[in-house]
A and B are shown apart, each in its own frame.
Chain A
Amino acid sequence: MIAALDLDGTLITCEPRQSACLQAALVCYGIRVSTSQVWELKREGASTEQALVLLKQDPILARRVAEHWRQMIEEPYWLGLDSTLPGTISILGAMRATQAKLCLITARSRPQWIPQQLARLGLRHYLDHITVVPPQTATNAKATVLRESRASVFFGDTESDYEASVSADVPFFAVTTGQRSAGFLVAANVSHVCETLRDAWTSFLRSSENPSKETCSNSQSNLEA
């Protein structure tokens, strides 16, 4: 079995890097905005620029700040703010214990830093295959990889990951540890929305054994969290 995994927000944190990098961009422009509020808006689907505008920032300035943020966000220093999500290492171990091959599919503008980051985070040796796709065409590119790799399942944290799965006809299990909230993912028609990767993996195994079995999105504890 091949299990495909997204990286940012699924295996590793994404909020600390995005918020700190935005804070740095805002400081440059002498602007004070609650990065926590920006993050909440982004969890509901807003881009960085949209979130700033929603928080009453001048649209031109918001565009400049967002552009500055975009230029910085994948620089090595900022990538150093990522860390593994709680339980990531143990669940990857559990996945491998079932003989699953783990295939990482991540969208990054600067793929050259991925090996370095995976080594730092202690993730590299859990992964059998790593594919980095350009963010601009992430959905289609991830779909292609899912199709070609004959993945049995894809775990991700965004509607883009979900769309890639739909396109490739691969079961998708979403986690709410990353870029999008549970409410946003459910509203985007994602069927299986789980709080953590462990829940998502358990849910996938259950659904594989018994396709009619309830999965994360039907569980009150997950939806109401």
Chain B
Amino acid sequence: MNKQGKRVVLIGSAGTGTAFAAATALRRVWSQSVCIVAIDINPWHLFTTSLLADEYEHVPFSNSETFPTVLQEIIQRYAVDTYMPLLPDEMLLAAQLRDQSLIPTEVSVLAPPTESCAACADKWTLNQLLAEHGVPVPRSSSASDPFAGKDFFLKPKNGTGSYGARKVKADELASIVGNSAEEWVIQEICTGPEVTVDAFYDKSSNFIRAVCRERIEIKSGVSTKCRLFIDKDLCRYALSVATILDLTGSFCFQVMRNTSGWVVIDVNPRPGGGTAMCALVGNDFFAATFAQIWGEDTIRFFREFEGDHFVTRQYAEFLMSPSS
């Protein structure tokens, strides 16, 4: 709590759609009873979350040497009690700083254990970990040691947001990855639909909630048309993923199909930008995440629904400086 008796929430990578969705949920549910501190690599007038924030700070990249010191100073200056890192590098760093007690213990860091952050940031490690625990995954290998096949789906080992991911032919793989084959993962070609499962898990009550989003249209890695539905099998997958990676609160993962059924192709140990779509059918994963960390009722953020619901997204415009 700060001097005004408000909870202080620090939102990292505030320029992302996920950060904007988190700030929106905070304002919708807790309105002005929370103080939002937004940090980003852009100045305030270039990230929309600043419109919802009480404070905003221009910070270096989370993988820069100076970022940890800047972060610690911001946490102290604003009396932050809840920190939501969002990008994989930032989440891993936050978990490490927490482990090293470089973030005060009274600050709730919305990141899973360091090992889980590391696993989710490394597609090869994640694939192996899930497979070891019986979660169906696509056949995969390092690009330096490809399995036999004609076509592969190639992904950067540490990629996010589908950047760099593409279908390649086996005979062009070597020329594409060049000397950095170890930095790439190849997977068998899966078939659609691509579904993102938004999930919330409360370990103490063993409560799991999962809403599936079939990505009907994707533009630049962002879902723009989705079909929302409930699937009991994928809910079971969600529980397995949460248990294996020791996830609590909201997270999401992507599935596609191979010959054996649904396979998990990626896991984010946090909600995604598209997770906000679920709020339109009464499932507010962002609000539930904050409610859980603050010991409040989480069930109220989940409303049952049946059948298919379609959600489309359009850009919204925000003026970031006064009109003349």
Contacts and interface: CB of A to CB of B under 8 A. Distances in A.
A and B bind:
yes
B52 A20 contact: yes
A77 interface: yes
Contacts of B66: none
B28 A23 contact: no
Interface in B28-45: 28-29, 31-32, 44
Contact of A28 (B28, B279, B280, B322): B322
B319 A28 contact: yes
B27 interface: yes
A36 B54 CA distance: 12
A75 interface: yes
Interface string B280-324: 111000000000000000000001000000000000101111110
Contacts of A82: 28
A36 B51 contact: no
A24 B303 contact: no
B142 interface: no
Contacts of A64: 322
Contacts of B31: 13, 15-16, 19-20
Interface in A1-39: 13, 15-16, 19-20, 23-24, 27-30, 35-36, 39
Contact of B51 (A13, A24, A39): A24
A122 interface: yes
Interface string A77-100: 100111100000000000000000
Contacts of A76: 316
Interface string B21-65: 000100111011000000000001000001110100000000000
Interface in B78-111: none
Given A20-B52, A23-B52, A24-B51, A68 B27 contact: no
Contacts of A213: none
B28 A24 contact: no
Contacts of B279: 80, 120
A23 B51 contact: yes
A137 B319 CA distance: 29
Interface of A: 13, 15-16, 19-20, 23-24, 27-30, 35-36, 39, 64, 68, 75-77, 80-83, 120, 122
Interface of B: 24, 27-29, 31-32, 44, 50-52, 54, 279-282, 303, 316, 318-323
